Structure 1
Amino acid sequence: MTDYRIEQDSLGKFKVPARAWYGIQTARAVENFPISGRMPDTDFIRAHVQIKLAAARANCQPDWLTVTQRDAIVAACERILAGELLDQFVVDRFQAGAGTSHNMNSNEVIANLANVALGGEKGLYAPIHPNDHVNMGQSTNDTIPTAIRLALLAKLPRLLAASESMAAAFEQIAEREHDTVKSGRTHLQDAVPTTIGREFAAYAWTLRRAAANLGAVRPLLCQTGLGGSAAGTGLNTSPDYARRVAAELATLTGETIGVGDLAAQMQSMFDMQTLSAALRGLALELTRIANDLRLLASGPRTGLGEITLPPVQPGSSIMPGKVNPVMFEMLNQVCYQVLGQDAAVAYMTQAGQLELNVMMPALGSALFDAMDWLTNAINAATEKNLKGLVVNRERCARFIHDSVALATLLNTRIGYMKAAEIAKESEQTGKPVREIVTARNLMSEAEFNALVLAAANGVGSAGGGG
Structure 2
Amino acid sequence: MTAGTFRTEHDLLGDCEVPADVYYGVHTLRAVENFPITGTPISIYPELIKALAYIKQAAALANHELGLLDEPRCDAIVAACAELLGGKLHDQFVVDVIQGGAGTSTNMNANEVIANRALELMGHNKGEYQYLHPNEQVNIGQSTNDVYPSALKVATWFGILGLVDAMGVLRRAFERKAEEFSHVLKMGRTQLQDAVPMTLGQEFSTYAVMLGEDEERLREAALLICEINMGATAIGTGITAHPDYAPLILKRLKEITGIPLMTAPNLIEATQDCGAFVQLSGVLKRVAVKLSKTCNDLRLLSSGPRAGLGEINLPAMQAGSSIMPGKVNPVIPEVVNQIAFEVIGNDITVSFAAEAGQLQLNAFEPIIAHSLFKSVSHLRNGCLTLAERCVNGITANEERLRATVENSIGIVTALNPYIGYANATAVAQEAHATGGSVYEIVLQKGLLTRDELDQILRPEVLTQPTPLSLAPRAR
Alpha-carbon separation, structure 2, partners of 1:444 and 1:338: 55
2:460 is matched with 454
Unaligned stretches of 5+ in structure 1? none
Q: Which moved more, 1:453-462 or 1:172-181?
A: 453-462
Aligned-partner residue type, residue 247 of structure 1: K
Alpha-carbon separation, structure 2, partners of 1:123 and 1:49: 20
Cα 1:271/1:174, change in 2 over 3 Å = same
1:265 is matched with 270
1:93 is matched with 97
| CA distances 1:237-256 after superposition (whole Å, capped 9, x unpaired) | 12411111111111111111
Of 56, 59, 69, the match for 1:55: 59
Of 159, 169, 176, the match for 1:172: 176
Of 79, 82, 95, the match for 2:86: 82
Q: Which moved more, 1:436-445 or 1:23-32?
A: 436-445
On the 8 A contact 1:179/1:457 being kept in 2, the answer is: no
On the 8 A contact 1:181/1:456 being kept in 2, the answer is: no
Cα 1:308/1:135, change in 2 over 3 Å = same
Matched, 1:298 2:276: no
2:384 is matched with 379
Alpha-carbon separation, structure 2, partners of 1:200 and 1:295: 14
Query: How much has 1:450 moved relative to structure 2?
Result: 4.0
Aligned-partner residue type, residue 351 of structure 1: A
1:30 is matched with 32
Aligned-partner residue type, residue 151 of structure 2: A
Of 3, 10, 13, the match for 1:11: 13
Alpha-carbon separation, structure 1, partners of 2:281 and 2:72: 42
Query: How much has 1:262 moved relative to structure 2?
Result: 1.3
| CA distances 1:89-116 after superposition (whole Å, capped 9, x unpaired) | 1000111221101111111111111112
On the 8 A contact 2:24/2:112 being kept in 1, the answer is: yes
| CA distances 1:165-210 after superposition (whole Å, capped 9, x unpaired) | 1111111111122221111111111111111111111111111112
1:227 is matched with 231
Indicate the SS of the match to 2:247: helix
Q: Which moved more, 1:261-270 or 1:85-94?
A: 261-270
Indicate the SS of the match to 1:217: helix
Indicate the SS of the match to 2:186: strand
2:70 is matched with 66
On the 8 A contact 2:415/2:456 being kept in 1, the answer is: no
Alpha-carbon separation, structure 1, partners of 2:172 and 2:454: 30
Indicate the SS of the match to 2:267: coil
Of 406, 409, 414, the match for 2:414: 409
Query: How much has 1:446 moved relative to structure 2?
Result: 5.8
Alpha-carbon separation, structure 2, partners of 1:433 and 1:133: 83
Cα 1:444/1:162, change in 2 over 3 Å = farther
On the 8 A contact 1:120/1:126 being kept in 2, the answer is: no
Alpha-carbon separation, structure 1, partners of 2:72 and 2:240: 21
Please, what TM-score do these two structures have when normalized by structure 2? 0.95
| CA distances 1:390-413 after superposition (whole Å, capped 9, x unpaired) | 011111111111111211112111
| CA distances 1:285-325 after superposition (whole Å, capped 9, x unpaired) | 01111001100000010100000000000111111101111
Cα 1:233/1:428, change in 2 over 3 Å = same
Q: Which moved more, 1:57-66 or 1:259-268?
A: 57-66
Of 364, 380, 401, the match for 2:369: 364
Query: How much has 1:439 moved relative to structure 2?
Result: 3.4
Query: How much has 1:454 moved relative to structure 2?
Result: 3.5
2:206 is matched with 202
Alpha-carbon separation, structure 2, partners of 1:444 and 1:94: 72
Alpha-carbon separation, structure 2, partners of 1:34 and 1:237: 34
Cα 1:356/1:185, change in 2 over 3 Å = same
What RMSD in Å do the two structures reach over aligned CA positions? 1.5
1:327 is matched with 332
2:320 is matched with 315
Alpha-carbon separation, structure 1, partners of 2:368 and 2:350: 6
Query: How much has 1:61 moved relative to structure 2?
Result: 3.4
Aligned-partner residue type, residue 236 of structure 1: T
Alpha-carbon separation, structure 1, partners of 2:228 and 2:179: 43
1:283 is matched with 288
Aligned-partner residue type, residue 58 of structure 1: A
Alpha-carbon separation, structure 1, partners of 2:311 and 2:363: 51
Q: Which moved more, 1:200-209 or 1:304-313?
A: 200-209
| CA distances 1:135-166 after superposition (whole Å, capped 9, x unpaired) | 00000000000010011001111111111111
Seq. identity, %: 43
Please, what TM-score do these two structures have when normalized by structure 1? 0.97
Q: Which moved more, 1:299-308 or 1:123-132?
A: 123-132
Indicate the SS of the match to 1:216: helix
Query: How much has 1:447 moved relative to structure 2?
Result: 4.3
1:246 is matched with 250
| CA distances 1:331-354 after superposition (whole Å, capped 9, x unpaired) | 000000000000000000101111
On the 8 A contact 2:66/2:245 being kept in 1, the answer is: no
Alpha-carbon separation, structure 2, partners of 1:2 and 1:447: 96
Indicate the SS of the match to 1:97: coil
Unaligned stretches of 5+ in structure 2? none
Matched, 1:121 2:125: yes
| CA distances 1:261-300 after superposition (whole Å, capped 9, x unpaired) | 2112220100011000000001010111100110000001
Alpha-carbon separation, structure 1, partners of 2:144 and 2:155: 16
Alpha-carbon separation, structure 2, partners of 1:118 and 1:445: 91
Alpha-carbon separation, structure 2, partners of 1:449 and 1:4: 88
On the 8 A contact 1:194/1:457 being kept in 2, the answer is: yes
Aligned-partner residue type, residue 340 of structure 2: C
Alpha-carbon separation, structure 2, partners of 1:443 and 1:325: 44
